């Protein structure tokens, strides 16, 4: 089996029974904020895109590149479609010209022609990607690989049970806006960033240890930021709180925990996997288009060259955002108020007004608009106290309205082209709602929260003297595998959520109380 690195989370898997192209991303994403790094735009995409199968893990724009899929990927390719609760991924791929779809069943092996086997695990909570994320398992001729990309399964045993995995591809770097955009003192931002960075690596080590694959490939990040306004987010400034470490940092950190089987794939790198049998260890030979160590040693120079070359692309994108003819307040009322009327669980979870400060084109004025969740309306800010506030350029909101964007997370928030402030803890319902600005998505998310609100969590696990519900209240991760107790605080390493055991209170977000009981240690009598 041949694995060709094609940048970020993208790869081409070649077998004797067919080829699979995964998550090809080349063009800038999220308001021209994110670019693939290393640059993959100069690869021979005419050849790489001529494949038998296409796998798009989810709709985040660093995985779903509509322009690139349209131009370069063979429309006769069969799409390996995850089992998602909405049809949006299939609808968007059909709009690009794809007509052949294999609608997989989550966690079910599908046998294709020539002995090629695939299985896709779909994650479907409202906080998984843009309503869905997935991982792809592939087997052919005794070789098994897992492309986990940036999915966060609560359990990898479903893959391990199919036999020893020879190659494991997974995310290790940041793909979020926290804490960089928050209006915090620099020292606090660095401290929070360092915690985030450490959690990312801890989660990665846990996944690697769970699967115990022969070879580990760090993928799905980081992006690079080529706009001058965002240049500081690149991990080249000696900031220990930067959440975007690159593959060379992964290799260094992995070595510190005893990892010796890591393999970096640059765009154009090729790894040939062979094995003597389905349960035998595999060997790998990897060739690179350039020296890997030297490339990352000169990272700043490569980024500066990319910044100069991509500047016209960014300028053209920016020129398309302004739509002064749009009545922003009126358009938001029309779009959001009907959804507020239908929202029960998310509106209750947000619990108050969310304020958007829109800075004018010339930066001289600000229009403040409130999405009032309790009042079920969108209105001008009335000088009241709010717990959640976002500040961004007016033209970005105009463009979201103009393109009828139903997922602000997969556009505005991941762009990092905003600042944020909040009073109190993180609130997942704020972001869940703003990725559900369509009837289909809202109804699904409300139904999901309704179902999980009614679940009775009966299973327990033990941490010393503490008996705790086994499943994390956040996204049902198995705490017997991902939980760590320090004093009276339980941390779920899957997403870094913390709980105060004596009270059960979630220390990370609103709601999500955990069930926990402490048992007194019996003292032996003399």
Torsion of CA 273, 274, 277, 280, to 10 degrees: -70
Select from 3.60.15.10, 3.30.470.10, 3.30.365.10, 3.40.50.300 the CATH code of 2-313: 3.60.15.10
Proportion of the chain in helix, strand, coil states, percent, rounded to 5: 30, 25, 45
Of 63, 74, 72, the residue nearest 36 (C-alpha): 63
Distance CA 296, CA 298 (A): 5
Query: Residue 285 has what pLDDT?
Result: 97
The pTM assigned to this predicted structure is 0.88
Cβ(395)–Cβ(323) below 8 Å: yes
- Stretch(es) of the chain classified as CATH 3.60.15.10: 2-313
Token pair listed for 20: 């699979």
- Stretch(es) of the chain classified as CATH 2.102.10.10: 456-518
Cβ(455)–Cβ(472) below 8 Å: no
Q: Give the architecture (CATH level 2) of 456-518.
A: 3-layer Sandwich (2.102)
- Stretch(es) of the chain classified as CATH 3.30.1050.10: 328-450
Helix residue ranges per DSSP H, 146-185: 157-160
The highest-level CATH class for domain 328-450 is: alpha beta
Question: How would you label 468-498 residue by residue, b for 16+ Cβ within 10 Å and e otherwise?
Answer: bbbbbbbbbbbbebbbebeeeebbbbbbbbb
Distance CA 368, CA 388 (A): 13
Task: Tell me the CB-side half-sphere exposure of residue 397, using CA atoms within 13 A.
Answer: 24
Cβ(259)–Cβ(211) below 8 Å: no
Query: Residue 523 has what pLDDT?
Result: 41
Query: Residue 278 has what pLDDT?
Result: 65
Q: In what order do the strands lie in the sheet with 117-123?
A: 110-111, 117-123, 133-140, 143-149, 167-171, 215-219
Torsion of CA 461, 463, 467, 470, to 10 degrees: -30
Residue 412 DSSP label: I
Averaged in consecutive runs of 10 residues, what is the pLDDT profile of the chain (526 residues)? Answer: 98 98 98 98 97 97 98 98 94 98 98 97 89 95 96 93 97 94 95 95 96 97 96 96 97 98 98 84 95 97 98 97 97 97 93 97 95 97 95 98 96 97 91 94 88 67 90 77 88 82 84 83 42
Token pair listed for 359: 């800075």
E-only strand ranges, 361-445? 366-372, 377-380, 388-393, 418-422
Termini Cα distance of the chain = 66
Give Cα separations from 462 to 145, 496, 517 (angstroms).
33, 19, 10
Of 84, 73, 82, 66, the residue nearest 28 (C-alpha): 66
474 contacts: CB under 8 Å, gap ≥ 6: 428, 492, 495, 497, 506, 508, 509, 512
Token pair listed for 331: 């358009």
Q: Is the dihedral of CA 479, 194, 219, 249 positive or negative?
A: negative
Query: Residue 453 has what pLDDT?
Result: 64
Query: Residue 475 has what pLDDT?
Result: 65
């Amino acid at each position: 089996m041949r694995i060709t690195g094609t940048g970020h989370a993208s790869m081409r898997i070649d077998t004797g029974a067919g080829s699979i192209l995964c998550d090809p991303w080349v063009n800038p994403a999220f308001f021209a904020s994110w670019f693939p790094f290393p640059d993959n735009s100069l690869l021979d995409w005419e050849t790489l895109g001529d494949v038998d199968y296409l796998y798009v893990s989810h709709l985040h724009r660093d995985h779903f590149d509509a322009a690139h899929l349209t131009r370069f990927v063979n429309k006769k390719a069969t799409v390996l479609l995850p089992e998602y609760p909405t049809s949006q991924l299939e609808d968007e791929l059909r709009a690009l010209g794809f007509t052949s779809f294999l609608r997989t069943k989550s966690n079910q092996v599908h046998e294709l022609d020539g002995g090629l086997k695939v299985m896709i695990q779909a994650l479907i909570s409202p906080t998984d990607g843009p309503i869905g994320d997935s991982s792809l398992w592939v087997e052919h001729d005794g070789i098994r690989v897992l492309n986990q990309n940036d999915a966060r399964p609560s359990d990898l045993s479903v893959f391990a049970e199919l036999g020893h995995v020879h190659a494991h591809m997974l995310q290790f770097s940041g793909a979020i806006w926290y804490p960089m955009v928050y209006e915090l003192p620099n020292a606090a931002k660095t401290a929070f960033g360092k915690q985030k960075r450490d959690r990312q690596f801890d989660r990665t080590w846990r996944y690697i240890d769970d699967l115990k694959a022969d070879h580990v490939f760090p993928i799905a990040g980081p992006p690079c930021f080529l706009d001058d306004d965002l240049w500081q987010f690149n991990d080249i400034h000696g900031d220990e709180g930067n959440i975007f470490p690159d593959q060379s940092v992964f290799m260094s950190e992995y070595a510190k925990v005893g990892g010796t089987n890591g393999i970096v794939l640059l765009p154009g790198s090729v790894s040939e996997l062979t094995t003597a049998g389905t349960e035998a260890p595999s060997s790998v030979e990897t060739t690179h288009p350039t020296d890997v160590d030297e490339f990352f040693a000169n990272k700043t120079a490569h980024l500066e060259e990319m910044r100069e070359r991509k500047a016209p692309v960014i300028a053209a994108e920016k020129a398309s955002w302004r739509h002064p003819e749009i009545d922003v307040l009126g358009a938001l009322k029309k779009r959001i108020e009907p959804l507020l009327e239908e929202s029960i669980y998310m509106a209750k979870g947000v619990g108050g007004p969310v304020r958007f400060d829109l800075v004018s084109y010339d930066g001289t004025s600000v229009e403040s608009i409130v999405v009032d969740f309790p009042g079920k309306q969108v209105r001008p800010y009335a000088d009241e106290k709010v717990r959640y506030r976002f500040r961004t350029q007016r033209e970005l909101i105009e463009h979201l309205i103009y393109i009828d964007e139903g997922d602000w997370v997969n556009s505005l928030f991941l762009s990092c082209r905003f600042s944020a402030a909040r009073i109190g803890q993180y609130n997942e319902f704020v972001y869940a709602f703003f990725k559900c600005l369509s009837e289909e998505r809202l109804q699904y998310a409300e139904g999901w929260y309704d179902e999980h609100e009614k679940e009775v969590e009966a299973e327990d696990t033990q941490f010393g003297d503490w008996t705790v519900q086994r499943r994390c209240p956040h996204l049902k991760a198995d705490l017997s595998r991902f939980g760590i107790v320090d004093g009276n605080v339980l941390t779920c390493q899957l997403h870094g959520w913390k709980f105060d055991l004596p009270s059960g209170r979630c220390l990370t977000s609103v709601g999500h109380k955990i069930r926990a009981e402490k048992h007194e240690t019996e003292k032996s009598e003399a």
